[in-house]
A = this chain, B = another copy of it.
Amino acid sequence: MEEKKIIGIDLGGTTVKFAIVTLEGEIQQKWSIETNILDEGSHIVPEIIESINHRLNLYELKADDFVGIGMGTPGSVDRENGTVIGAYNLNWKTLQPVREQIEAGTGIQFTLDNDANVAALGERWKGAGENNPDVILMTLGTGVGGGIIAEGNLLHGVAGCAGEIGHVTVDPHGFECTCGKVGCLETVASATGVVRVARQLSEEYAGDSELKRRLDDGQDISSKDVFVLAEQDDPFALMVVDKVCFYLGLACGNLGNTLNPSSIVLGGGVSAAGEFLRSRVENYFNEYTFPQVRESTQIKLAQLGNDAGVIGAASLALQFVK
């Protein structure tokens, strides 16, 4: 008899990614479908079920070949009841009985968690986290999200907000955030945050700079533009990157001082700036950590890219292995 497998699902606002994963976390098959958010997102779960059943048929697999299905989802997750609510990019405003529907539709045990947590589980298991018991993932994308694994456990907190490191306060007098408070890491280190920092600093910058010129010219600037120009030694872009990396290093430093993980892993679109970003964050991290943490906690780049979600989601189903 062959070893059983897991299905990992990464449910996002534009695509649903699926993977068939071994118990060791190796992807054997992967595919994706578009997320159909019409009619209050009521087609999403049926289409997930249909896609799974279709693929199992294609690969000549049956429900009994799987220990379970794990899924990462946006919105507010009730893990105990297997439901999701308030996932606005899916149009899920009301309570969605996802587990009940997927278990009924596939005959496979199902479990879920939020997407940022699940990505952290993926990077910890098969990525930069090297399967260590203490790993933090910080995802720098449209927003800043994260997930924390400590003593081998994914942390949720009393109301499911553990790991919301995008809302750590890095400047008590900083920008207003969509969450209602000020100075959140997300306001200065997300893709739009980087541009916000650039616009703020440009008010005081008078030197020669292509980035400054584009901003003054009213052009649309992206976070990527800022990093590309900085790598080309644009002095103002370098100043912006330095400020962003200060905030990231301060936030990572305090995560290190508090939790002392083996690594803090930087992922998401902004982290595409790679070593250029990582090394600068690390410099500030070193400045804002005490010696034992500085020596034991590493700043790393994420390794799994888009696969973090499906792999981490699959890892949720390991709980079903007897």
Q: Which A residues are closer than 8 A to B by beta carbons?
A: 132, 134, 148, 150-151, 153-165, 167-169, 172, 177, 179-181, 183-184, 246, 250, 253-255, 257-262, 287-293, 295-297
Contacts and interface: CB of A to CB of B under 8 A. Distances in A.
B134 A168 contact: no
Contacts of A177: 290
A266 B247 CA distance: 27
A259 B167 CA distance: 11
A255 B253 contact: no
B288 A169 contact: yes
A152 to B, nearest CB: 8
Which of A148, A151, A297 has the largest number of chain B CB atoms within 10 A?
A151
Pick the 8 closest A-B CB pairs, nearest first: A157-B260, A159-B296, A161-B260, A179-B290, A158-B262, A151-B153, A167-B290, A162-B260
A124 to B, nearest CB: 13
Contact of A164 (B184, B258, B262): B258
A134 B181 CA distance: 24
Contacts of A287: 181
Nearest to A291: B180
A155 B257 contact: no
B161 A155 contact: no
A177 B291 CA distance: 12
A290 B290 CA distance: 27
A181 B291 CA distance: 8
A261 B255 CA distance: 15
A92 to B, nearest CB: 18
Nearest to A151: B153
A288 B153 contact: no
A267 to B, nearest CB: 17
B164 A260 contact: yes
B257 A255 contact: no
A262 to B, nearest CB: 4
B161 A151 contact: no
B169 A254 contact: yes
Given A134-B157, A150-B153, A164 B293 contact: yes
Contacts of A289: 167, 181
Contacts of A163: 258
A157 B132 CA distance: 10
A180 B296 contact: no
A45 B292 CA distance: 27
Contact of A259 (B148, B172, B181, B257): B148
A290 B180 contact: yes
B181 A288 contact: yes
Given A150-B150, A162-B150, A172 B288 contact: yes
Contact of A258 (B246, B255, B260): B255
Given A150-B153, A169-B253, A253-B169, A179 B260 contact: no
A261 B183 CA distance: 21
Nearest to A172: B250
Contacts of A184: 290
